[in-house]
Amino acid sequence: MKDLKHISKFLSLVLRHNPDLIGISMDPEGWVSVEELIEKSNKHGNPLNAQLLEDVVVTNDKKRFAYNDDKTRIRASQGHSVEVDLQYEAIEPLEFLFHGTVDKFIESIRTSGLQKMSRTHVHMSKDRDTAIKVGSRRGKPLILVIRAAEMHRDGYKFYLSENEVWLTDQVPVKYIEF
């Protein structure tokens, strides 16, 4: 299990942030070849084979990675900092979405709303418990409630990633309950 977590972290690094690290090519929708990923991971000193990759995809706690239909390609379902167009369809969000953060960011969020920072989108959760886990990565979590349906009525677009993370470009302050 420890191995799978290590592989998951390595895959997040390569598939979300730095494909160049192992010299793999990524298409505009974020997909890489499974064969190339296995070959180049091994060359980079990160042992990987088809079974291990499958185990990571299936057992991953947040289902971070997804195969294409014939399992020849794989990508991260969200969380990128490299420019990708995941081609998710814009859909109507739940009435409220949740964003877990920490106190040190609150002043800035009160001024400029939620911004995507280094990633391609602002990430939000469908429930408070998930948002608590997200915020806890950085310290004592603070949960912001986003009036998502109202934003949507005002023309903002929302996307739901394959692994059920809600995404949007930004959240202006007026839609945030602190």
Burial of residue 13 (number of CB atoms within 10 Å: 0-12, 13-18, 19+): middle
Find the binder of ligand HQG among 26, 146, 160, 165 (CB under 6 A).
165
Q: From residue 61, give the alpha-carbon distance in Å to each of 15, 58, 65, 130, 139.
A: 17, 9, 10, 12, 20
By CB under 6 A, residue 115 contacts ligand HQG: yes
Residue with smaller CB distance to ligand HQG, 49 or 115:
115
Residue with smaller CB distance to ligand HQG, 49 or 108:
108
Q: Look at residues 62, 126, 138 and name the one whose alpha carbon lies nearest to residue 99.
A: 126
By CB under 6 A, residue 80 contacts ligand HQG: no
Give the footprint of ligand HQG on residues 117-136 (CB under 6 A).
Answer: 117-119, 123, 134
CA distance linking residue 90 with residue 59, whole number of Å: 28
Binding mask 4-43 for ligand HQG (x = CB under 6 A): ----------------------------------------
Q: Look at residues 76, 71, 66 and name the one whose alpha carbon lies nearest to residue 14.
A: 76
Considering only 42-50, 51-59, 89-97, 110-118, which stretch makes contact with ligand HQG by CB under 6 A? 110-118
Residue 70 CB, nearest approach to ligand HQG (Å)? 25
